[in-house]
């Protein structure tokens, strides 16, 4: 019988004195009888808004039946009888299924189950119409600050001032601060608008709807309007795309808002903001003016730079290209495609700087040639012949090939050789050269003996791996 108990549903009447509304109160209880030690406890189920303590009314113990000291036994319990426990009479009206089956199995004849009576005062209270009181909302500034600080509604508007002389549509941005219901208006600066630039048209403040409606005796000359003088302020629901609002006498048309504002109106106010309105006339794309011709001083980039500002600045350089290729240059040997017999034996060194694309030409010293060795052409961007002088095309490494002719301001040079670094550069940048050009340069390097070590390594590798299918292995 461990952890086995009998449950009886009962009630008792409690007298209520000095109350015009009720004389007694019906209280429902559960009498639990523990079979393991014949102890009894009385529990009262909780009742909402009862007004008196509930729970365990009688702690678990053996309960005496009378003054003789004989305690209650489960055989003394049945449905429809009264049980006195410590001076309080409990009337048993029903029991649970387990208790019913247990008593029937022990030969106890159960009386008919009874309905539990209801408390008359509780029933009368339930029949009354509840009086619902609505507490007016309190503007909790601290809560609004903690919840909406940094959250701002942004609207794009235009001030329609076309009724006045030389009036126009001027764009503005209206900010509505949810933390304190303040509004400010910021002017959108446009290039060459002809208007003085001010940071704000309206500083942050609460925006009244009817700012002129004030008492006649209000000293508006030296005092600002406050809450006592303003009947209504603008609220978020007033800012809907397509509406016209008046800000201190100026007429503003709302034509767009940002994504956060749209989400706030949809989820918090259940208002779907319309799409963007077209308020400005679409301007035809202006044709850029043609660039002036080269003035023959400096480079064409210098001429173009003089069109942008009166204070001349050097053209911007490709810094990434300069850092990547700093100190790197390609060297070629060349001879002059001579017309005069004395130029037949002249030899030149052409250097191409990868950092800025400039070309340097120096003449190689030849004894008894009659020509002074040294610089033939200073470093400069070398334009190709018959190109537009205002926008010329310059020589690049793809033009310096073995046997090609380079025209330098009427002097024709024929490329006769190159160093090994040129070939390495062509291998590293195959997209800038044709396959034929790379192969011709490779044949030249082999002919000059500059690739002997590389060819020897490749031959030794082929000998060691002759007949081996796996190219990654090595023969022992």
CA distance 102 to 290: 109
Distance CA 333, CA 349 (A): 5
Residue 380: how many CB atoms within 10 A of its CB?
14
Q: Is 475 helix (H, G, I), strand (E, B) or coil?
A: coil
What is residue 211's predicted lDDT score, i.e. its pLDDT?
A: 67
Largest CA distance in the chain: 154
- Which pLDDT score is estimated for 90? 93
What confidence score (pLDDT) does residue 461 get?
59
d(CA 291, CA 26): 104
How far, in Å, CA of 212 to CA of 189, rounded?
Answer: 30
Token digits of residue 5 = 């108990």
Q: Two tokens at 99?
A: 């208790």
Backbone angles phi, psi at 53, to 5 degrees: -65, 145
Residue linked to tokens 């019988």? 1
**Which pLDDT score, from 0 to 100, does residue 192 have?**
78
Helices (H) and strands (E) in the chain, counts: 9, 18
pLDDT of 475: 40
CA 308 to chain CA centroid, Å, is 38
* Residue 178 near residue 151, CB atoms below 8 Å: yes
Per-residue pLDDT of the chain (476 residues; tens, 9 = 90+): 677 899 999 999 988 888 888 888 899 999 999 999 989 999 999 888 777 788 999 999 999 988 888 999 989 999 999 999 998 999 999 999 999 999 999 988 889 999 989 888 888 877 776 666 776 666 778 888 888 888 999 999 998 887 777 778 889 999 999 988 899 999 888 887 778 778 888 899 888 887 666 666 666 555 566 666 667 888 899 999 999 998 888 889 999 999 999 999 999 888 999 988 888 877 788 888 887 887 777 777 888 888 888 888 888 888 899 999 998 999 999 999 888 888 888 999 999 999 989 999 999 998 888 888 899 999 998 999 988 888 889 999 999 999 999 999 989 999 999 999 999 999 999 999 999 999 999 999 888 888 887 777 766 655 555 655 555 554 44
Q: Report the first-to-last Cα separation within the chain, whole angstroms.
A: 88
Q: Does the predicted TM-score (pTM) go above 0.75?
A: no
Domains and CATH numbers, the chain: 5-127 (2.30.29.170), 150-216+229-269 (2.30.29.170), 290-319 (no CATH), 327-462 (2.30.29.170)
Asked if 89 contacts 83 with a C-beta cutoff of 8 angstroms, the reply is yes
Per-residue pLDDT at 474: 46
Q: Which residues of 62-88 are buried (b: 16+ CB within 10 A; e: fewer)?
A: ebeeeeeeeebebeebbbeeebebeee
Contact between residue 56 and residue 147 where contact means Cβ atoms under 8 Å apart: no
Beta strands in 311-462 (DSSP E): 329-336, 347-353, 359-363, 374-380, 405-408, 411-418
* Count of CB atoms situated within 10 Å of the CB of 334: 24
């Amino acid at each position: 019988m461990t952890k086995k108990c009998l449950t009886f549903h009962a009630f008792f009447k409690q007298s209520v004195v000095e109350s015009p509304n009720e004389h007694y109160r019906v209280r429902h209880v559960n009498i639990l009888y523990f079979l393991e030690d014949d102890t009894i406890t009385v529990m009262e189920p909780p009742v909402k808004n009862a007004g008196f303590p509930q729970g365990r009314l009688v702690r678990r113990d053996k309960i005496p039946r009378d003054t003789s000291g004989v305690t209650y036994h489960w055989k003394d319990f049945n449905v429809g009888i009264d049980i006195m426990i410590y001076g309080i009479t409990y009337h048993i009206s029903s029991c649970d299924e387990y208790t019913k089956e247990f008593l029937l199995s022990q030969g106890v004849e159960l009386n008919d189950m009874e309905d539990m009576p209801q408390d008359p005062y509780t029933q009368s209270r339930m029949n009354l119409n509840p009086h619902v009181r609505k507490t007016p909302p309190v503007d909790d500034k601290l809560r609004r600050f903690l919840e909406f600080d940094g959250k701002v509604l942004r609207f794009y508007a235009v001030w329609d001032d076309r009724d006045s002389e030389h009036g126009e549509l001027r764009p503005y941005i209206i900010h509505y601060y949810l933390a304190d219901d303040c509004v400010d208006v910021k002017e959108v600066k446009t290039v060459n608008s002809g208007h003085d630039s001010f940071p704000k048209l309206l500083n942050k403040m609460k925006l009244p709807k009817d700012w002129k409606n004030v008492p006649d005796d209000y000293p508006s000359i030296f005092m600002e309007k406050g809450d006592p003088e303003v009947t209504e302020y603008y609220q978020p629901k007033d800012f809907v795309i397509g509406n016209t609002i008046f800000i201190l006498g100026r007429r503003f048309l709302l034509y767009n808002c940002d994504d956060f504002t749209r989400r706030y109106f949809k989820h918090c106010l259940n208002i779907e903001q319309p799409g963007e309105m077209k308020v400005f006339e679409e301007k035809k794309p202006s044709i850029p003016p043609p660039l002036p011709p080269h003035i023959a001083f400096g480079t064409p980039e210098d001429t173009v730079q003089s069109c942008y500002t009166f204070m001349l600045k050097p053209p911007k350089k490709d810094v990434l290209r300069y850092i990547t290729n700093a100190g790197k240059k390609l060297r070629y040997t060349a001879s002059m495609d001579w017309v005069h017999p004395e130029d037949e034996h002249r030899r030149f060194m052409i250097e191409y700087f990868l950092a800025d694309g400039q070309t340097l030409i120096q003449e190689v010293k030849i004894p008894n040639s009659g020509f002074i060795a040294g610089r033939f052409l200073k470093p400069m961007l070398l334009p190709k012949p018959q190109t537009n002088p205002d926008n010329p095309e310059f020589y690049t490494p793809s033009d310096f090939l073995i046997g090609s002719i380079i025209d330098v301001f009427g002097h024709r040079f024929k490329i006769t050789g190159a160093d090994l670094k040129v070939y390495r550069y062509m291998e590293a940048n195959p997209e800038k050269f044709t396959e034929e050009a790379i192969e011709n340069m490779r044949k030249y390097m082999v002919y000059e003996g500059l690739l002997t070590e590389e060819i020897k390594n490749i031959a030794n590798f082929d000998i060691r791996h002759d007949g081996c299918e796996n190219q990654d292995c090595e023969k022992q």
